[in-house]
Structure formats: structure tokens, C-alpha cells
Amino acid sequence: MNYTKEQILARCNEFSKNTLMETLKIEYIDAGEDFLTAKMPVNPSVHQPMGLLHGGASVALAESVGSAASFFFINPKEQEVRGIEISANHLKSIREGYVFGTARIIHKGRSLHLWEIKITDEEGNLVSLCKLTNMVLERKKI
């Protein structure tokens, strides 16, 4: 990566405006050479009917973090990223507080990026374990 931690976080939080990430109140909070972390509040707006964190909200957090992380491994003037597959295992229920999604690169190829995203609660307990595959595409010339 050719960006500072501060540049990565500012860019991620900026391009989240007016998107699902803003709706879910996802905030990017940490970054490093091989990871990106975001947090999301757990409240009734992301609950399923039983009052627990909705699995779909967890998956949205995972895909958001993994896709944003891929962006920093490409040339955004010539390439773009598309998520093509995501899987999730939900291991623990949570009703309130925050969850943290940390994406770590498993494979960084020219055309595919594979990420492992661990979603944890405020105590560090694993809530969901996700795997995301992103395709790197050449940006279409208009």
C-alpha cells in the first residue's frame, strides 16, 4: 500500500457517504499493511425480529470492509473492484454495543483478491467469520 493509515481511513469514511455503509453507521477505524478494520453499532436498526444482530448486517459489514481494503491494492484510475462471492458463519449472537470487522488479505492476485473478515464484539469474541472474493476489473474507458 502506498497510503498512510490516516489517508486510508479518511478515504474509506469519505466514500461511505450516501451509501449503505452510512445507513448502517459503519466507520473505518484502523488500517495496516494487510488489514482494514471498521466498526458498526448494534441496535434495533440492524436487529432481526428476535432482537439480535441480523446476519445480513454482519455480511454487509464484512463485504464493505473487504471491498474497501481491495481498493488500496489497485490503481483506481485504471481498475475497479467487484465482490463476486461472500460466505459467512455466524457463531455468536449480540444484541447491543459494537461489532468490529477486520479484513485480512489471504491472496492478492492480479485479478482476484481473497479476504478473511473476522467480526468480533467489544470483548474480542468472534461473532462471525466471513470469506470474500473480489474481482479486479479494468475500468471501462468512456
- State the pTM of this model: 0.94
Cα-based distances in Å from 17 to 13, 24, 27, 113: 7, 11, 10, 24
Q: What type of residue is 84?
A: I
pLDDT one-digit tens code per residue, 127-141:
999 999 999 999 987
Is 63 marked active-site?
yes
In degrees and rounded to multiples of 5, residue 55 shows phi and psi of -60, -35
Q: Could you say which of 27, 63, 123, 138 is catalytic?
A: 63
Which sequence spans correspond to the domains of the chain? 5-138
Q: What CATH superfamily classification does 5-138 receive? A: Hotdog Thioesterase (3.10.129.10)
Q: Residue 128 in contact with residue 62, Cβ under 8 Å?
A: yes
Strands in 20-125 per DSSP E: 27-32, 35-42, 79-90, 97-108, 112-120
pLDDT one-digit tens code per residue, 23-53:
999 999 999 988 999 999 999 999 999 999 9
Looking at residue 4, what DSSP letter applies?
A: -
